Amino acid sequence: MLATILAKLIDHAAALPTQPMTHRFTNSLRISITYYEEAHQFNLILARDKVHPSLTEWKTVLKNWPYPVHANPQTGDQDGRHYLIAMLPAHPKLF
């Protein structure tokens, strides 16, 4: 299920560069993916209100990414939202 959701978000993000594509899960976790065409990279954000997403959640998302990727996320807080964020390379088939 997660792999299918990620694949759809990535496809939509690649079709509409710089427009964030977001999915909200029932546990209040939000995944946002934005494609930057010139950089050939995706911006991946895991966000949640009140508490940071866990590194286990981050690893689960990367494990379900449609192709192998690795990234150590940065943490951040803004307006009561806590997030993990990193840039991921686009698959060579995209460009």
Tens of pLDDT, residue by residue, the chain (95 residues)? 999 999 999 999 999 999 999 999 998 999 999 999 999 999 999 999 989 999 999 999 999 999 999 999 999 999 889 999 999 999 887 65
Domain count, the chain: 1
Q: Is the pTM of this model over 0.85?
A: yes
How long, in residues, is the chain?
A: 95
Q: Cα(83)–Cα(85) distance, rounded to whole angstroms?
A: 6
Look up the CATH number of the domain holding residue 8. Answer: 3.40.1720
Range of the domain at 45: 2-94
Is residue 49 within 8 A of residue 28, CB to CB? The reply is yes
